Amino acid sequence: MVCVFGSNGTKSVIWFQSNTAIICHSSGLKPGNYTFQLKSRASTFTISNPSIFQLNIAKHINNIVPKFSFEGQRSSLTVSGGPYRDDGKLKCNIIYPNNLTKEVTATVLTDHQLKCVLFPQLPGKYLVEVVQDSVTVSHTQERMLFHEVVPLPSVDSMFPSTGPVAGLSQVTIIGKNFFGLQSISRDVYCVFDGTKGAPGKIGSDSEVLCQTSPHAVGTVGVGIQVSSMPMLDTMLRFEYHAVPKIMQVSPSIGQWSRHPTAVTVYGEGFFDGEGLSCIVGSKGSYKGKYISSSAVVCLLENLDGGNHTVTISNDGVTYMKSDVSIEMLSRSMIMSVKPSKCYWVRGMKLTVFGKSFGPRSDFKCVLTSWSVAPIVIEGKLIGLDTVECLLPWMSIGKYLVEVVQDSVTVSHTQERMLFHEVVPLPSVDSMFPSTGPVAGLSQVTIIGKNFFGLQSISRDVYCVFDGTKGAPGKIGSDSEVLCQTSPHAVGTVGVGIQVSSMPMLDTMLRFEYHAVPKIMQGLDQFEHIDSHFDGCLSFKRVIAFIFSSYFLKLIYQYM
């Protein structure tokens, strides 16, 4: 059995049938008056009274605006479709995600728009239906229309919180539940004092990345807006500042160092904020220390030799180009130290050999030991790569040697530490023998103590006689030095000990040089005695033999 509408015989299926009622589907009919019949294969039934069926325009829901709202916020939904009749009987059924249905009064705005108020409590999708004359209005093409409630984002902080008046600063808002914004729209903006910046981006569920809009100097409120949703007030504040202007840097010449070098940048418009940075050439940024609106201290490190432009950024991102630069001298290094060991004597000099010390520098030698306070000595530049320092009295020990150039510590070669060691000063008691021939080559022994300290400096030990070195000597023990005299004229001379290139150590001892006797001298007076000896050994030869034996013994004694 089917339902037949009008003379053209439009057929319709039966939705419901009982002994007393039949419900037919009137889909596809235009508004107007239709006769109505029931037909089966056997017969046709005509409605007796009335025989005319009046069909009104079908009612549908076409759209719901807005489609999204935040959790816990009251939402006014505009439902398009209709036509709707303002008879006070229109209702909206709101079907919650947990299938709970809540009926709310609908307000007709126009023939094709009505308004329903939603008070969502839970995130999720809410099915919206319109009920007119106790009949639920269908959705267009059976497509269900929902209103989605997303979790309300919460905001904790923003970085940076300052930026230039020109805008375009990148800021990150930290919080949670930001992925809910992305489900609404990918068009996310940060709003500064009511003005949108460039489109932002949801970096994660806890980050929104934005760009500031231009604004005058001052502090403004910040909001987040997604699509046509109401702006979400973050309760954060952003401070706009003027772009810094750079005038000069001091010092304008620096020296490479493995430690940061402090320079002061002078200008105007500096702001005390977390993003305050020093931008140096192509090396990137360094943290700046705020002194005043016209001075910032920058700690620079690892800058190569040459000129580097310097400017200041108040937010770490934006900055104004600068013509102010700092000249960095090439990296200075310590290559070697001489002497590396010594005993202290007045006038002792420490020579530090290096690389790229530079001519326009103030130098100091710093000697550090665990047992004494650091010793700071004024240095003198000899050439471009050598610094000389006059050593004061220093206690025995090992000292780390450093050179400070223009208040910057010079690095050691390949980080190999260089030391200067002070050994005990030898003391001298006596010398044996203390006389010898002018021809030299006499073996002498100097008696004292602390001679092993000399051996730690060098194995080249000499005794010095009146300024002239003898043959190389030998340290026999901690209390003995064995030496050989150098040739010298008759007389008494001072004796010293010298090790390697160290200054001579004056022993305060004296050595006496004497002439070697001529063996045959004065024997002519014995010639007359020879005449009394006939056929025997001459008397002169006997005397010569006695004298020669005595002096040979004497010479052997001093060798």
CATH number at residue 351: 2.60.40.10
Compute CA distances 290 → 98, 259, 262, 319, 440, whole Å.
57, 20, 13, 16, 76
The two structure tokens encoding residue 102: 């809540």
Please report which residue ranges of 41-121 form alpha helices under DSSP H. Answer: none
Per the CB < 8 A criterion, the answer to whether 442 and 558 are in contact is: yes
In terms of DSSP bridges, do strands 505-514 and 435-437 run parallel, antiparallel, or are they unpaired? parallel
pLDDT of residue 358: 66
What's the number of CA atoms in the CB half-sphere (13 Å) around residue 54? 3
Q: Is residue 257 part of a domain?
A: no
* Cα distance from N-terminal residue to C-terminal residue, the chain: 152
List average pLDDT for each run of 10 residues in the chain, which is 559 residues long.
Answer: 69 58 61 67 54 52 83 83 79 85 87 84 83 72 75 85 83 87 80 85 88 89 82 86 87 73 89 83 83 90 81 79 82 82 81 77 86 87 86 87 79 72 87 92 91 81 88 89 91 89 84 80 50 48 49 46
Neighbouring CB atoms inside 10 A of 135's CB total: 9
Q: Is residue 386 part of a domain?
A: yes
**Could you say which of 417, 451, 475 is where a domain stops?**
417
Handedness of CA 27, 29, 33, 37 (dihedral sign): negative
pLDDT of residue 131: 84
> What residue type is assigned to position 259 of the chain?
H
Q: Is residue 105 part of a domain?
A: yes
pLDDT of residue 106: 87
The two structure tokens encoding residue 373: 């306070």
Q: 319 and 283 in one domain?
A: yes
Q: 366 and 337 in one domain?
A: yes
Q: 497 and 446 in one domain?
A: yes
Q: Which residues of 259-291 are buried (b: 16+ CB within 10 A; e: fewer)?
A: eebebebbbebbbebebbbbbbbeeebbebeee
pLDDT of residue 254: 74
Q: 270 and 230 in one domain?
A: no
Q: 32 and 73 in one domain?
A: no
Q: From CA 12, how far away is CA 36, in angstroms rounded?
A: 11
Q: 138 and 74 in one domain?
A: yes
Per the CB < 8 A criterion, the answer to whether 234 and 181 are in contact is: no
How many domains does the structure of the chain reveal?
Answer: 7
Q: Is residue 75 part of a domain?
A: yes
CA angle centred on 39, ends 37 and 44, rounded to 5°:
80
pLDDT of residue 481: 92
pLDDT of residue 526: 47
Q: 160 and 142 in one domain?
A: no
**Could you say which of 125, 150, 175 is where a domain stops?**
150
Per the CB < 8 A criterion, the answer to whether 167 and 173 are in contact is: no
Q: 509 and 537 in one domain?
A: no
pLDDT of residue 535: 46
Q: 500 and 439 in one domain?
A: yes
Q: Is residue 519 part of a domain?
A: no
Q: Is residue 410 part of a domain?
A: yes
In terms of DSSP bridges, do strands 44-46 and 113-118 run parallel, antiparallel, or are they unpaired? unpaired
Q: 126 and 169 in one domain?
A: no
pLDDT of residue 512: 94
Residues with Cβ within 8 Å of 500's Cβ and at least 6 positions away in sequence, in order, are 339, 457, 458, 460
Q: Is residue 422 part of a domain?
A: no
Q: 346 and 324 in one domain?
A: no
Q: From CA 505, how far away is CA 481, in angstroms rounded?
A: 13
Q: From CA 179, how far away is CA 190, in angstroms rounded?
A: 15
Predicted TM-score (pTM) of this structure: 0.42
Q: Is residue 282 part of a domain?
A: yes
Residue span of the structural domain in which 122 resides: 61-150
**Could you say which of 329, 344, 376 is where a domain stops?**
329
Q: 27 and 70 in one domain?
A: no
